[in-house]
Chain A
Amino acid sequence: MSLSDNELIIQANNGNHSAFEELIYRYDKSVLSIALNYVHDNDDAKDIYQEVFIRVYRSLKKFEMRSEFSTWLFRIATNVCLTYKSRSKKHLQLSINEEFEEDEHKKSYELISDNRDPGELATNTELGSLISDAVDSLSDKQRITFTLKHYEGYKIREIAEMLNCKEGTVKKYLFDAIRNLRKNLDSVYAAAY
């Protein structure tokens, strides 16, 4: 019979490295998936993955088991994703503990110039690139929310726990993300369908 997360945590905190490995291998594929679908780059995703589990390793002794380990882990993962993005932008420093304040005008949503033929754009390669750009152009919190909901399939309640905010806030990020994606991709998906 396999050990529970908490039993593995106790063993890991007593210096059992195999227990720590078993614990993280239960969730590491999900963490890598979140990272990859957030940054769209294998090397960046591996960097985020590594940073997440280094933080877990350093902080495991402080984990008080009041919540599920997975909730705590994914909260770290989303935080690292947001911070990682902030670092790459070199000019933003965000914290998921802040209440949402989305400045939608700070982003450029003009991904498709008016003089391009939507039919011509709707080839697989270009479509993929446009969608990738559209998702990347979302604000950090819209993007992490959209990634967790759309690609990873988490419930809004779970995302709220990860982002440490209210469900209503998550819904707002999601609505805003979809509205912006729709605005950017309107001519593309209208042409494709």
Chain B
Amino acid sequence: MKHNEYKKLVQLALYSELNNDEQKELENHLKSCEECRKEMEMQKNLLNVISETEKKEIDDTLLHEARVQLRGALRMESGKQTFGFQFFLNLFEFFIPPYRMAIAGVTTLLIGFFIGYIFIKPSPEIRYITKNADGTENVFSQQDVKISNISFIDSDASDGEVEFEFDAVKPMHFKGRVDDPNVQSVLTYAMLNEQNPGSRLNSINAMVSENTSSFDPEIKKALITVAITDKNPGVKREALNLLKRLPYDEDIKQAYLYVLSSDTSSALRITAIKALIETVQSGQKLSPKDLKIFKEKSKDENNNYIRYLTKTILQEHD
């Protein structure tokens, strides 16, 4: 074996990727080759340095946030596949692939005629269709689509073609009941992901309005996430207030306790402890672990009012 090949074996050895024969061969070589021994030390040092400073562990908060956002996205996704759409999807499953596209096209055309017939007005939409390199069709632009962030993959037009990608945003308008699962999907997603704090706030208010007749467990999870992780204190406070309208349970209690013990805003800590006082006054019991948090708060809390409320809740519980 050549000397350079032993150097590669050194790398694989550090990752425990050698079989027994290769391992023995390398060990024998290392006994007689100082250069390779140094190489091994250098590589060990390099990998140790990288390991010490670069490894990023997943903490529970990050995983929780990712899961909550995913739930919102999946709700949006499943919303797309409801009603007639799902029916047609299931129908298409019966057909073999070569006919699927044709049937989809014909069906889409029929739906278009049907919708046109119902509303008795022609569609103002103009669609420009292009073909991708693999021959599939692609909607290039539509009348009301905003195109932005164009980035070129291949801007060299010498062969008559260019390739690029872009964001196409189409405004949608929707009106529906707040307890409609589709509306709730959009609102949950907005509550967790919308950049504008005002929109997040409006989504929360709409979601838990007086007219909401039932609460999806996902809404509770989303509200808790917002109450704990949102960057805007106003949005957090609204989420905390709205949690009070949901049936009280252990998750909600833990959210209040988390805010009380960890949030830097005294206003939010007050909101949380007031909510907890209300639950205790309505007969809910606190666990010894919860009481320990209150006892610690009654000593360590900087805010006088919160210290006073903490003592109140301890007295209420006794």
Contact surface of A with B, Cβ cutoff 8 Å: 17, 25, 28-29, 32-33, 36-37, 40, 42, 45-46, 49-50, 53-54, 57-58, 87, 90-93, 124, 127-128, 131-132, 135, 149-151, 155-156, 171, 174-175, 178, 181-182, 185, 188-189, 192-193
Contacts and interface: CB of A to CB of B under 8 A. Distances in A.
Contacts of A192: 45, 49
A131 B77 contact: no
A127 B49 contact: yes
B153 interface: yes
Q: Which of B43, B57, B67, B78 has the most CB of A within 10 A?
A: B67
A91 B46 contact: no
Contact of B17 (A53, A54, A128, A155): A155
A131 B45 CA distance: 13
B66 A46 contact: yes
Contacts of B58: 29, 32-33, 36
Given A37-B55, A90-B151, A155-B17, A53 B70 contact: yes
> SS class of chain B's interface: helix, strand, loop or mixed?
helix
A189 B74 contact: no
Contacts of A127: 49, 53
Contact of B152 (A46, A58, A91, A132): A91
Interface of A: prevailing SS: helix
B65 interface: yes
B56 A49 contact: no
B66 A174 contact: no
B65 A46 contact: yes
Given A29-B63, A32-B58, A58-B77, A178 B153 contact: no
Contact of B74 (A32, A57, A87, A178): A57
